[in-house]
Chain A
């Protein structure tokens, strides 16, 4: 039980990821696939942010650095900022992927007048 409750953020990440994965692979509508892709990517953001956070820790800014008394910095008191920074980059990547995907969907819709995969496939067979 402690494994589940204590690490609930990781369980949520896995559940979200599976939902997204199912939508990407199982759904036949292209927009649903795209939404699945977004959920999948968001779950990865959640995962990375979880790895950086700590209970009761503060933001990683040294309050009285520079000149005033030098104190040892204990990493345990600070939230790890690096996963957050990585995710900023990943969000940029995801947004641009989403943009390109929407543009592709527009192209597809203009050509076939539908976004159902089965209909597109049958239209293309003709």
Chain B
């Protein structure tokens, strides 16, 4: 049997450095190497998920050192699922990056792809590792690659990236302190070992501090509402292909770490009953959803608007985690996948639109649907999914979240989910209306002459269109198959006593 758990990480990690070498000889080698590496990761994570579904969790001991001394990779239903999401979206965005990167930075191709792969490596590493310190290292690999990738964007990018770095480092340091506190009281860094050792120490103040540090650190990394300030600038100014990679994945991987820490490292009893962490979390999420939606309403720049929608979406996941019951957590885990698909497709659309020289201000989108019919069709599908219209996947995760809120008898949380759906409808229909129904503005000479001649298709290149259409197909099919996904994978990812 091939060592799939390690292949997920090693393939992109080695290729990242290979690309720089190969790129200095022949520039055209970079893209195929990157695709090959991402394809290997995606294939291995699918193979592991298959294995997990049939034979239960997979463990891989690095260097044959047995845990708790050595580092182990543990893949169960939860992170097997997240790894598949991350690696497949990474692959799709990788495919789409070709033209956008060649347009944006033709001279630095090898370095861009190197960072791109390191980012994916870091994210996948966070997902598969079963060791809290190893997780910190991967967290920083992903973040460092992210800072560099964001900084190569447009005018405000380096400054936004520096701010992101200050916040990101704070988050990572808090996480590291949490690790240190847990190490003092237990002497272990292995997640499974910690979860065995901790229950007898739940009354300790040190453990409480560790938990608090973990929660704040992760909340910064996943941009949960009061700690989200770095996100809108960083993701707005980042290059299109970068924001299409980091926006859907970084926050989702952060959400995964949150679930892992709250419900695996610490037992659900601790997080929900002994201390009111989950209640606080769901109230924070409540405000995150409202705040994200309301600020998204005020934006005129499509990409910045999506960044605020993303903050609201992070709120959904945190709400599901905080509800602390089976339906809520099912919704949260399902939403990790759905939101990754929706955000990847939406940010990719922004990339396609700007690639064709359109402005991101959506009051200038008049007539877009005649120029780029496929892109706008995908935009409508993704937007409907974010709003939560049934055949698209966004509906199903919201459905479970609402069910979870009702199970927890938290009517306010159920209400905020519905209100945010309405707000999302307003947010996206402002753009959709522009794209489809507004007449082409008078006074633009070029547009006028073209209107007489009939619009010509001016679509984005195939390398962007194909991943975009695949993502849209993913949004619809994941929606239709959500029952199967829940009964096959997610129900095992939820802690048994929920």
Enumerate chain A interface residues (CB-CB to B < 8 A): 21, 24, 30, 33, 37, 40-41, 44, 47-48, 51, 82-83, 86, 89-90, 93, 96-97, 100-101, 103-105, 107-108, 111, 120, 124
- Report yes or no: A40 in contact with B159, Cβ–Cβ below 8 A: no
Chain B interface mostly: helix
Contacts A37-B169, A86-B133, A100-B165 given: A51-B176 contact, CB under 8 Å? no
Q: How far is the CB of A101 from chain B (nearest CB, A)?
A: 6
A96 to B236, CA, bound (A): 25
- Report yes or no: B176 in contact with A44, Cβ–Cβ below 8 A: yes
Q: What are 14 inter-chain pairs, A to B, with CB distance below 8 A?
A: A41-B173, A44-B180, A47-B177, A48-B180, A86-B133, A93-B140, A93-B172, A97-B140, A97-B169, A100-B147, A101-B165, A103-B151, A108-B159, A124-B159
- Report yes or no: B166 in contact with A100, Cβ–Cβ below 8 A: no
- Report yes or no: A104 in contact with B165, Cβ–Cβ below 8 A: yes
- Binary CB contact string for chain B from 402 to 431 against chain A (1 if under 8 A, 0 otherwise): 000000000000000000000000000000
A101 to B151, CA, bound (A): 10
Chain A interface mostly: helix
- Report yes or no: A33 in contact with B177, Cβ–Cβ below 8 A: no
- Report yes or no: B159 in contact with A24, Cβ–Cβ below 8 A: no
Q: Find residues 362-421 in chain B having any chain A CB closer than 8 Å to their own CB.
A: none
- B159 in complex: contacting residue of A86, A96, A120, CB < 8 Å: A120
Q: Which of B155, B162, B170, B176 has the most CB of A within 10 A?
A: B162
Q: Specify which chain A residues have a CB less than 8 angstroms from the CB of B133 in the assembled complex.
A: 86, 89
Q: How far is the CB of A59 from chain B (nearest CB, A)?
A: 19
Q: Find residues 273-288 in chain B having any chain A CB closer than 8 Å to their own CB.
A: none
Q: How far is the CB of B490 from chain A (nearest CB, A)?
A: 33
Q: Find residues 149-192 in chain B having any chain A CB closer than 8 Å to their own CB.
A: 151, 155-156, 158-159, 161-162, 165-166, 169-170, 172-173, 176-177, 180, 183-184
- The number of chain B residues touching the other chain, given as a range, is 20 to 34
Q: Which of B156, B158, B172, B177 has the most CB of A within 10 A?
A: B158
A86 to B162, CA, bound (A): 26
Contacts A48-B180, A90-B176 given: A101-B162 contact, CB under 8 Å? yes
Q: How far is the CB of B127 from chain A (nearest CB, A)?
A: 19
Q: Specify which chain B residues have a CB less than 8 angstroms from the CB of A48 in the assembled complex.
A: 180
Q: Tell yes or no: B58 within 8 A of A by CB.
A: no
Contacts A24-B166, A86-B133 given: A104-B173 contact, CB under 8 Å? no
- Report yes or no: A41 in contact with B151, Cβ–Cβ below 8 A: no
Q: How far is the CB of B476 from chain A (nearest CB, A)?
A: 40
Q: Tell yes or no: B227 within 8 A of A by CB.
A: no
Q: Specify which chain B residues have a CB less than 8 angstroms from the CB of A89 in the assembled complex.
A: 133, 137
- A100 in complex: contacting residue of B144, B156, B173, B180, CB < 8 Å: B144
A40 to B156, CA, bound (A): 26
Please name the residue on chain B nearest to A86 by beta carbon: B133
Q: Specify which chain A residues have a CB less than 8 angstroms from the CB of B166 in the assembled complex.
A: 24, 33, 37
Q: Find residues 311-337 in chain B having any chain A CB closer than 8 Å to their own CB.
A: none
Contacts A86-B133, A107-B151 given: A41-B169 contact, CB under 8 Å? yes
